[in-house]
Structure 1
Amino acid sequence: MARPSKPLISRKAAVMASIEIIDSEGLDAFSLPRLAKHLGVRAPSLYHHFDDKNEILTEVARYIAGTAVRRPRMNPGPDWPEFFVALALNFRQSILRHRNAAPVLLQHLPRDLFTSTYEDTAQFLLDSGVPVDLHVRILDGMETLSIGAVLMEAMRPPRPKSAIFPNVSAESQPLLAQALSSNELTQRQLFEGIVRSFLHGIIRDHHLPAPDAEPAPAG
């Protein structure tokens, strides 16, 4: 389809409008005609900025999992794991704010989304005294852990502490039911604990200086 000679909307406006539609009406409601109506333009106007619907959804994923995630303001040092804990929690917060878009992230998340930030993060690790040979292990591990855990959480409805695992019967799964009733951690706290365990495992296994930091702030 031919592109209009002059754009009637901005690329950013189209992406933000797409997120609004998905958040409020669900992914199934999203289409180019629906987006055009939301923006008050005709559908061909969208082709000035995007080749097709898939490109729009890729930019939606890029915004939610990248642009909207706040980077912690921390100085390099022995408490470097707290930077990654805070970053992971901010990533989780951004994704869960847009639960309806979780399938978009699964299908359209750009593989190179985080590459542009990894140079600065590697410099942060280097300035914190973390050996270079551990940088890829930390960066790749955090990416895999955060994306996997958060998208799994986002794909299911919010649950209370006593229902982390669904459909547990005290009669047929008494030990698991007892474990759930004894659990005092929220989903956020469980996620934070997983991230800390990963980072402190690297510290322990490679005999790095142990950090002495306060827990990452909420959000």
Structure 2
Amino acid sequence: MARPSKPLISRASAVAASIEIIDSEGLDAFSLPRLAKHLGVRAPSLYHHFSDKSEILAAVARQIAGAGTIPRRKPGPDWPEYFVTLSTNLRRSILKHRNAAPILLQYLPRDLLSRPYEDTARFLEASGVPVHLHVQILDGMERLTLGAVLTEAMRKPSTKNTIFPNVDPETQPLLARALAENEMTSRQLFEEMIRSFLHGVVRNDDVEIEDAHDMSVSAR
């Protein structure tokens, strides 16, 4: 069937409809005929904006991951909190669309995150973070955030006591006790993980600098 001479839908409406289908019916229910039916058009209309299903899914991944808002924070010594907020915003956006987690794993383009990182690198520099740590921080934040969030998205929502599911107090008493003593939600644990990584990067760098200085002094 030939495609219509003029587009009957917009690219944005097709992406939004795709997300609606995946959210409500699951990823297995998504197809081009299902999307066309949802939009009230025939499948050829979709080809005005997308070459195939994979291109639609890539656009869905870009839309979901790009929905996280950029925090407004002045550069300064509390710069790690900028990343905590940035990662938490991305986490919130992705967890709204848990059924789409496999799509993000496969189709999320790295340039979606690297382009705003120019501004983030500028923020780090203005905050006094050494330039030689920027790539380690930016690459580590991307891997850490996406890995943690997508793993969480593919699991059922948890409470403080079910972060590790199916724990048997009889055979796993120490883990059961740890869960009982845990006072952090999944979000709070996520935030502390980000802080630990960032402070650890800077602390390790300070230690290396001190060690190099001590070696230089002892060699004199």
Instruction: Determine the structure 2 residue equivalent to 1:89.
Output: 88
The Cα of 1:137 is off from its aligned counterpart by 0.5
Q: Secondary structure at the match of 2:76?
A: coil
TM-score between the two structures when normalised by the length of structure 2: 0.91
Superposition RMSD in Å: 1.3
1:99-110 alignment runs, 5 A limit: 99-110=98-109
Aligned to 2:170: 171
Aligned residue-pair number:
207
Query: C-alpha distance in 2, partners of 1:194/1:78?
Result: 19
Per-residue deviation at 1:5?
A: 2.2
- Once the two structures are superposed, the pairs formed by residues 56-95 of structure 1 within 5 Å of their partners are 56-66=56-66, 68-95=67-94
Checking the alignment, whether the CA contact within 8 Å between 1:126 and 1:132 is kept in structure 2 is: yes
Aligned pairs (5 A) from 1:139-150: 139-150=138-149
Q: Partner of 2:188 in structure 1? A: 189
CA shift at 1:2, angstroms?
5.2
Q: Is the 8 A contact 1:32 1:53 kept in 2?
A: yes
Residue 167 of structure 1: how far off its partner (Å): 1.2
For residues 102-152 of structure 1, give each alpha carbon's deviation from its aligned partner in whole angstroms, at most 9, with x where no partner exists.
Answer: 111111111322121111111111111111111100000100000000001
1:140-173 deviations in Å (ceiling 9; x for gaps): 0100000000001000010111111111111111
- Distance (Å, rounded) in 2 between the aligned partners of 1:124 and 1:180: 37
C-alpha contact (below 8 Å) 1:2/1:47 kept by paired residues: no
| Displaced runs of 4 or more, over 4 A | none
Gapped regions of structure 2 (runs ≥ 5):
208-220
- Structure 2 residue aligned with 1:112: 111
Q: Which amino acid aligns with 2:131?
A: V
Shift of 1:3: 4.1
Q: Contact (CA 8 Å) 1:4, 1:47: kept in 2 or not? A: no
The structure that is helix-richer by fraction is 2
Q: Secondary structure at the match of 1:28?
A: helix
Identity %: 72
Provide TM-score, normalisation by structure 1. Answer: 0.91
Which residue identity is paired with 1:163? T
Distance 2:183 2:166 in 1: 19
Secondary structure of residue in 2 paired with 1:206: helix
Please say which structure displays the higher CA radius of gyration.
Answer: 2
Mapped partners of 1:81, 1:34: distance in 2: 44
Larger RCO (CA within 8 A; separation ≥ 6): 1
- Deviations 1:76-100 (CA, angstroms, capped at 9, x unpaired): 1221111100000001000101111
Unaligned runs of 5+ in 1: 209-219
Structure 2 match to 1:6: 6
